Amino acid sequence: MKISIFDTTLRDGSQGESISFSLEDKLLIAQMLDELGIDYIEGGWPSSNPKDKELFVRARELKLHHAKLTAFGSTRSAKNTVESDRSVKGLLETGTPVVSIFGKSWDLHTRRALGVTEEQNLQLISETVSFLKQHGKELIYDAEHFFDGYNANPDFALRTLEAAQKAGADVLCLCDTNGGTLPGLLAEVVAEVRRRFDGVIGIHTHNDCDVAVANTLAAVEQGATHVQGCINGYGERCGNANLCSIIANLELKMGHHVIGAEKLAHLTSLARAIADVANLSPRGEQPFVGKSAFAHKGGIHVSAILKDSATYEHIRPEAVGNSQRVLVSDLSGQSNILYMLKQHGLEERLNEQSRRELLERIKHMEFQGYELESAEGTFELLVYEALHPQTHFFDVKHYEVVTKLTEGGKSSSTASVTVAEGNQVHTATAIGEGPVHALDLCLRKCVSSMYPQLTQARLTDYKVRVLDSRNNTAAKVRVLVQWAGGGKSWSTVGVSNNIIEASWNALLDGARLDLIRLAQQDTSPKIAVGE
């Protein structure tokens, strides 16, 4: 069965905390949603703010190949005629082929929010729908608070739907606006609506009880064929139903046609791209599209997926454009190590005994507070050290860093580092913006004097995590350093009760890994590493 997808990321999603889309952001997202195969894109409420009004002007430049741009609004005000109502007129001025309006389905809202009688509310719904249909609009009627309204007064809630449908509404969308309805009750109500009404029934749920996706799927099982939601579950309070999970479940689990298998393979990239536009970090644990959705840590799990990924993966990650990942930690078994070695093309280079020793070393480091899941650079360094135990580029003889407060009220850090390679000793001094910067400059000077091939990999991120807060400022910390260079990015990690020492260890790993990578490419005696 074909299920129509109505995306309200640009309207309902933008009401989420920490989300503020610019006009250009909205236009970009609309284009991406169209390319994914979304059926309806709700652009915003043109009468509520100048940005949304301008969006519909600018949107005329968009070349949407599939989606129908939709303007959002409400039934007319009780104080106005439908012809004079500013909000209704604003919907017509957008020029969109589709209009979505909401009306009150709950007698509480009718009396308290609108201050009208039940019959007057039915008239607001009927007149507004009829007027917009007379102007050639495809009309989606959102029955706001429908499930709360049905629970309080089912007869009135159903009469609001009847008023909208008789006036010509193309879709009757049932809204769980407060997000408080559970799947069992919601399914019963949708089934009753489906029994009483012909035509297209829609569902719009919020996630306040963490069941918005489940509620949406339950509604589809009872006959809803129009589904509303937001990419990544953005939205007010706890968010709207997550369209990423809904689309994947409808296509892969329930056998419905939504966007098709080819476009489904772009779901992960779209979810992450929209998170980037929203300036929010993608949720790693998000089903289907999250970085951790197909990540495996336990040794037993990894051993099984190496034989058959279906043992611990409910779908192929590629179906939604995601990928399988294996993490290395103190929970790892040899299978994790073997998987990671294969990722680096090194599975044939370490025998079983060497792999076992590497695993024990990793577990010991994890016990000390290291985390190699996020520090793939340090893991790569450990592998190469296991492959080439005789390789030793340099020894650190001394390092020192001093931070002073200057007369101008600013701080200044001066570091000195001494390293040795055989009988050669190299010392460097540098002034940096801070102690880590100063040490990094010194280390580069010393190492590059011995190995001029050392690349100019740059530090792109620096994170500190306290591992045991009970020791207050003497607590052990973990420092994660992100590097970029040569078209690659990687992370190294250091752990210590001293934040400078932890940082220094992460810097050292970065330099040593850089040299080892060079060694794999360089055949000169100065840097070559024997097989």
Q: Would you give the end-to-end CA distance of the chain in angstroms?
A: 59
Torsion angle of C-alpha atoms 85, 90, 96, 98, degrees rounded to 10: -40
Long-range CB contact pairs, 365-370, < 8 A, 24+ = 365/495, 366/329, 366/330, 367/330, 368/495, 369/467, 369/476, 369/478, 369/495, 370/478, 370/493, 370/495
For residue 194, the 8-state DSSP code is H
Token pair of 226 as six digits: 């129009």
Bridge partners (DSSP) of residue 101 are 73, 141
Quick: pLDDT tens for 395-426. Answer: 899 999 999 987 777 888 999 999 998 888 99
Instruction: Say whether 257 sits in a helix, a strand or coil.
Output: strand
Instruction: Going residue by residue through the chain, which has 531 residues, state the pLDDT in tens, using 9 for 90 and above.
Output: 999 999 999 999 999 998 999 999 999 999 999 999 999 999 999 988 899 999 999 999 898 999 999 999 999 999 999 999 999 999 999 999 999 999 999 999 999 888 999 999 999 999 999 999 999 999 999 999 999 999 999 999 999 999 999 999 999 999 999 999 999 999 999 999 999 999 999 999 999 999 999 999 999 999 999 999 999 999 999 999 999 999 999 999 999 999 999 999 999 999 988 998 898 888 989 999 998 899 877 767 767 777 788 888 899 999 999 988 766 544 455 566 666 666 666 566 667 776 777 777 767 676 676 666 566 777 777 777 777 777 778 889 999 999 998 777 788 899 999 999 888 899 999 999 899 999 999 998 998 888 887 767 778 888 888 877 666 766 788 888 888 776 677 788 888 989 999 999 899 888 888 887 777 665 443 443 333
- Residue 143's DSSP bridge partners are 103, 174
Q: Which domains does the chain have, with CATH numbers?
A: 4-259 (3.20.20.70), 295-366 (no CATH), 394-450 (3.30.160)
Quick one: tokens of 517? 């990578």
User: How far is 4 from 368, CA to CA, in rounded Å?
Assistant: 52
At 183, list the tokens: 């799947």
User: Contact at 8 Å (CB) between 500 and 435?
Assistant: yes
Instruction: Give the residue among 2, 20, 156, 11 at the shortest CA–CA distance from 70.
Output: 11
How many angstroms separate the CA atoms of 417 and 504, rounded?
11
CB 296 within 8 A of CB 326: yes
Cβ-contact 426, 449 below 8 angstroms:
yes
3-state secondary structure of 4: strand
Q: Give Cα separations from 261 to 48, 252, 256, 306 (angstroms).
A: 38, 9, 11, 25
Interval 29-60: pLDDT, tens = 999 999 999 999 999 999 888 999 999 999 99
CA distance 170 to 521: 65
- Measured CA to CA in angstroms, residue 284 lies from 3, 287, 359, 425, 443 at distances of 28, 9, 26, 46, 34
pTM of the model: 0.71
Q: How far is residue 243's CA from residue 205's CA, in Å, rounded to a whole number?
A: 11
- Tell me how far apart the alpha carbons of residues 383 and 389 are, in angstroms, rounded to a whole number: 10
CA nearest neighbour of 224 among 251, 180, 256, 271: 256
Sequence-distant (≥ 6) Cβ neighbours of residue 134 within 8 angstroms: none
Kindly give the pairing relationship between strand 411-421 and strand 295-296: unpaired
Question: Which residue, chain included where needed, has tokens 């990423």?
Answer: 244
Half-sphere exposure for 258 (CA within 13 Å, toward CB): 30
